[in-house]
Structure 1
Amino acid sequence: MHAAAARLRVFLCTLALVCLGLAGAAPPTATAVPTAAPTPSPLCAWRYMSNSTVLNVAFPDANATYWVLPYTLGPNTTLELSGTYPAARYFSLNTYGTDFNTVDTLRDNQIVPDPGSANPFGNAGAAAPTPTNRSWHATVVPGAADHARNQIRGLPAAAGSAPIGFLIIRVYVPDNPNSAPGGVPLPEVTAKVGSGAALPMQPCGAVFDPAAYTGPIADAATAGFENVIAKAASGAFPGNVPEATFVNPASTSGLFPNGDNKYIGAGLTYQPGRIVVVRGKSPSFPDTRAGQPVTAPGRQLRYWSMCQNDLVSPYPVVACASDFQTRLDADGYYTYVVAAPADTPATVAPTVTVIPWGSTTVAKKVLFLRYMLPAPAFYPQSIQASQDDHTDPAVTMGPYYPRAAYCSAAVFAAGGYRACGLH
């Protein structure tokens, strides 16, 4: 079994055990679960981590890491979170439903710090406080949530059922690339039922044997997941759009979308000897890896990236070039070359960024440009404005629109992007 598929099977096959335990329901009967499968503790936090190498599903960004806590909220149940603001470009708390659609989002600069602490994402131009005074608390609640009180809306129980939901932490571009959570522990989680006892959810530490997760339950869970993701991905882009042309997706529903991001994408098809060249203007951003504060004034976006993805289930990312990884020319423009190793020019100009095609056995790809949190002054030229106003991004975005073209590797090597028809 492929490693990613094996991890996906583990993820799906253990959901029922984790979530039933949290809801207080009886576990499945012995005949319903493969006897060889290890039984996870039902009350443990952050069961799964997802990134470009582990549980790589639903078009993640390669410069972000996602931690997933499957949950159910029984009657009067809440999840209490206690954490520390990470040293990173961005982080958020997000809840999703069984259909992988967004329920609620609480973003870094919306999270009110504990008394005596400070939020490094909230004060424009301020120096980041030390880790000893960067604490916060938040609560996942059934029903309506008050963000001013650090509440996040979860899926409530209804009519005797407790639907499975997902709580996901996202961390983008940690200051220390060797610390995915941004140099701080993942938040502590406690389940509370009304005014009764608090049930601490310790970090999950079980080591699973993916080969043990076989049989009808694993097959059904995997098929169900892939059906939801495949349906969402197949409807993401409108039909009759030329390849290598960036357009607004019809929807990102069902793909664990982040409400702080908007995307435009271009479909691609592999042919030997052919590359894709993309040209556009770079928005400014806070280069936190270079020591700039997230709240630095005058920045147009919090984050942006160009990502190459396989257009086949479970829709993994191949590679991304984020803002700080992208080379620019003297006018602030980027030039990307998307190519398989055999087609990559032997030498490229120092202003060119190469994004790998990935496996050529996957012929269909999709290239995404991701914009996060535009500043008010930049909003009219952002992807967000194009989608809010239902306008053509090629018009709305002006020079920031990425123009792409197929080109032979030899032509590009001889004449650069201009020889491929771009300006």
Structure 2
Amino acid sequence: MPIRRQTGTPAFARPDLASRPGGGFPNADTAYLYADVTPPSDRQVVVIHGKAPRTARGSHPAPWPATGKDARYWSMCTNLTVPPYQVVANPLPGGTSDYGCRTDDQTEHDADARYSYVVGRESQRRAIEKAPGVTFLPFSRAQPTAVHRIILRNMVADGGFAEAVQNVTPYEPTPRGRVADR
């Protein structure tokens, strides 16, 4: 089935944590960008494109600071926006769970470090994972209509990394995301 993109851009923002509950655990080394989205219909997904910071790949921990690296670690997660603001955790066959977080090492990207996340329902997982170069993130199976908070986290950004989340001016986002038919 062809993908149809709607116009608009994802509303990622670095929240003003003094005025917003569920603000994560920011500190001098960690910062977050959020986009609050309502899961679309069963035939749609949320698509997020970006460029990954350069990080040490593979075995962790690794020496830091590292020459030619932008951040020590980054991740993208789906959380619920109702207290206690927990990460999505969907039960899978065999008694395992899919926690709605993907680390830098779990994120598909091309040679230019460009990535695409596709956020969808567990029922869409198989089709999404067949698409080359994308990383699946789940919406909650238990709360499929709840507003979800998609969180981009940077930890220990290099001082010369101008695009670090730590350098984004805090403000309140408008809850919307880019939606595509699937």
TM-score (norm 2): 0.73
Q: Identify the match of residue 265 of structure 1 among 34, 38, 45.
A: 34
Return 5+ residue gaps in structure 2 as ranges: 1-7, 89-99
Aligned counterparts of 1:249 and 1:341: Cα–Cα separation in 2? 28
Cα distance in 2 between the residues matched to 1:391 and 1:338: 24
Confirm or deny: 8 A CA contact 2:109 2:133 kept in the other structure. yes
How far the C-alpha of 1:406 sits from its partner, in A, is 0.8
Cα distance in 2 for residues equivalent to 1:268 and 1:336: 14
**Equivalent position of 1:320 in the other structure:** 101
The count of aligned residue pairs is 155
Q: What stretches of structure 1 of length at least 5 have no aligned partner?
A: 1-241, 394-403, 410-423
Distance 1:295 1:329 in 2: 24
Deviation at 1:292, TM superposition (A): 4.5
User: Matches of residues 11-410 of structure 1 in structure 2 within 5 Å?
Assistant: 244-251=10-17, 255=22, 257-259=25-27, 260-270=29-39, 271-287=41-57, 289=59, 292-318=62-88, 319-344=100-125, 346=127, 347-359=129-141, 361-362=143-144, 363-378=146-161, 380-387=162-169, 405-409=178-182
**Residues 190-215 of structure 1: CA deviation (Å, up to 9, x unaligned):** xxxxxxxxxxxxxxxxxxxxxxxxxx
Q: Distance in 1 between matches of 2:158 and 2:107?
A: 20
Shift of 1:366: 0.6
Q: Deviations over 1:279-328 (max 9, x none)?
A: 00010112352674333222100111000001111111111111111011
Amino acid at match of 2:56: P
Q: 1:350 deviation in Å? A: 3.3
CA contact (8 A) 2:33 2:152 kept: yes
Instruction: Tell me the secondary structure at the aligned position of residue 166 of structure 2.
Output: helix
Letter in 1 for 2:166: Q
SS at match of 1:324: helix
Residue type of the partner of 2:102? Answer: A
Hey, what does 1:198 align to over in structure 2?
none
The alpha-carbon distance between structure 1 residues 349 and 331, as it changes in their structure 2 partners (threshold 3 A), is farther
Q: 1:243 to 1:311 in 2, by over 3 A?
A: farther
**Contact 1:328-1:352 within 8 A present in 2 as well:** yes
Cα distance, 1:300–1:351 mapped onto 2, change above 3 Å? same
2:54 corresponds to which letter in structure 1? S
Moved over 6 A (4+): none
CA distance in 2, matches of 1:364, 1:345: 23
What amino acid maps onto 1:405 in structure 2?
A: R
Alignment deviations for residues 29-65 of structure 1 (CA, whole Å, 9 cap, x no partner): xxxxxxxxxxxxxxxxxxxxxxxxxxxxxxxxxxxxx
- In structure 1, what is the Cα distance between the partners aligned to 2:60 and 2:13? 32
Report the residue type matching 1:303 in the other structure. Answer: Y
Tell me how large the CA RMSD over aligned residues is: 2.8
Percent identical residues: 32
Give distance in 2, aligned partners of 1:314 and 1:263. 17
Judge conservation of contact 2:13–2:35 (CA < 8 Å) in 1: yes
| 1:361, distance to aligned residue in structure 2 (A) | 2.7
How many angstroms apart in 2 are the aligned matches of 1:268 and 1:370? 17
Following the alignment from structure 1 to structure 2, what is the Cα–Cα distance between the partners of residues 291 and 316?
26
Larger radius of gyration: 1
Paired residue type of 1:286 = A
Structure 1 position 364, deviation (Å):
1.1
Provide the secondary structure at the position in 2 that maps to 1:373.
strand
Could you tell me the TM-score, scaled by structure 1's length? 0.33
The alpha-carbon deviation at position 348 of structure 1 amounts to 2.6
Cα distance, 1:330 vs structure 2:
2.6
Q: Secondary structure at the match of 1:289?
A: coil
